[in-house]
Amino acid sequence: MSSFLMKLPPHQHGKYETKYTFFILSAAMLPAIFFSLFYYGYRLLFAYIITMVVCVMSEWAYESIKYKKHYLERLLEFKGSVTAALIVMTLPPVLPYYVYVVAALIASMIGKQLFGGFGRNVYNPAITGRIAVLVGYSSLMSTFYLPTSNILENGLFNITTVPIDAISMATTLTAAKETVASGGTLPILMTDTWLPSFLGFIPGAAGEVSALALLIGGALILVTRIGSWRIPFASLTTFLVLSTIFWYFNQGYVLDPITQVLSGGIILGSFFMATDFVTSPLYSKGKIIFGIGCGALTIMIRIFSSYPEGIGFSILLMNSLVPLIDRYTKPRSFGG
């Protein structure tokens, strides 16, 4: 009796096959990764390595046990490498290593494998892992450092609990929240933070502090067309329009739109996470709706909730709506 061989998608391969996509995504993340290593040194490199090993090996072990064959082939695919890099990029630069391990296991095993593996997950795995440790280790996740320690000053092999000359301080978004909550007011325009935020001389998550590095990587994603331009365009445009409206009517209590877009993870999320082809809509109209939802939810979470950041929650919420979006934006067949 003949037997059927069960394999995960994709089944048809071409120029934009999975390995090519992973390669381009990895290349697109390199500017932000190199920037983070430059400022936070060898300890963060350990975090990238540990997280990548946990993601790759856990996915390989699960799929090898489940599908029995092709052990070496599955290992060489490095499916968890992009997820691992995104996890580290979205976390504070100095954390105990076990936090990265927990985030990686939750991302790969719960966020991806429990849904059936790569290509079947409903939610973005990296964001799933990030939010899980945000809830579980909230105090650790609220500690950020000013990126002043770099390899030119302290050497690449600076292995310390924190960078030698790092200064623990709140992010721009957190500081604004605390100022308003305590009855203070904000400057109408925080022009002195625009250039540092664009270049990356502000505290924040490891891979999101430099808007310039993220935009370089985002441009590569759009040029190679592995990610749809409609999602980041719709997300960032909606975010800017709504943040401008909220700021105009609440000056002194809401950050100006330029500071909003240069702070936090809106650029990282819009280009590198919302464009995930597995968890985003299939059709052009749906991608625009998805991007609008991500941008709108992000600014509303920032302003109306106790969380200073909202891109992760907004993408997960929109991931939940993808089947519904696809259903109502599917193009009609010719003559249908």
> Who has greater pLDDT, 113 or 73?
113
Q: What is the pLDDT of residue 191?
A: 87
> Are 217 and 271 within 8 A, CB to CB?
yes
> Are 311 and 269 within 8 A, CB to CB?
yes
> H or E segment at 287?
helix 284-304
Q: What is the pLDDT of residue 157?
A: 42
Pairing of strands 167-169, 144-146: antiparallel
Type of residue found at 82: V
Q: What is the pLDDT of residue 166?
A: 45
Question: 152-207: per-residue pLDDT in tens?
Answer: 444 444 434 444 344 445 678 888 888 888 888 888 988 888 988 898 877 788 88
Q: How confident is the model at residue 291 (pLDDT cuts 50, 70, 90)?
A: very high
Q: Decide if pLDDT at 3 tops 90.
A: no
Query: What is the pTM for the complete model shown?
Result: 0.86
> Who has greater pLDDT, 77 or 152?
77
Buried b (16+ CB within 10 A) or exposed e, 199-209: ebebbbbbbbb
Q: Decide if pLDDT at 334 tops 60.
A: no
> Across residues 90-105, what is the average pLDDT?
91
Return mean pLDDT, the chain.
83
Q: How confident is the model at residue 293 (pLDDT cuts 50, 70, 90)?
A: very high
Place of tokens 């009609």: 332
Distances (CA, A) of 193 to 155, 232, 258, 260, 296: 28, 23, 10, 11, 23
> Are 246 and 299 within 8 A, CB to CB?
yes
Phi-psi domain of 266 (left: phi exceeds 0; alpha: psi -120 through 50; beta: other): alpha
> Across residues 316-333, what is the average pLDDT?
91
Which residues lie below 8 Å from residue 160, measured CB to CB, with a gap of 6+? 43
Q: What is the pLDDT of residue 258?
A: 95
CA distance 303 to 80: 34
Q: What is the pLDDT of residue 162?
A: 43
Question: 252-264: per-residue pLDDT in tens?
Answer: 899 999 999 998 8
Place of tokens 């010719």: 334
Q: What is the pLDDT of residue 199?
A: 86
Question: 200-242: per-residue pLDDT in tens?
Answer: 877 788 888 789 999 999 999 999 988 889 999 999 999 999 9
Task: Dump the DSSP string for 207-267.
Answer: TTS-HHHHHHHHHHHHHHTSS-THHHHHHHHHHHHHHHHHHHHSBTTB--HHHHHHSTTHH
Q: Decide if pLDDT at 335 tops 50.
A: yes
Q: What is the pLDDT of residue 164?
A: 39
Q: Decide if pLDDT at 10 tops 60.
A: no
> How large a percentage of the chain has pLDDT more than 70?
82
Furthest-apart CA atoms within the chain: distance in Å: 77
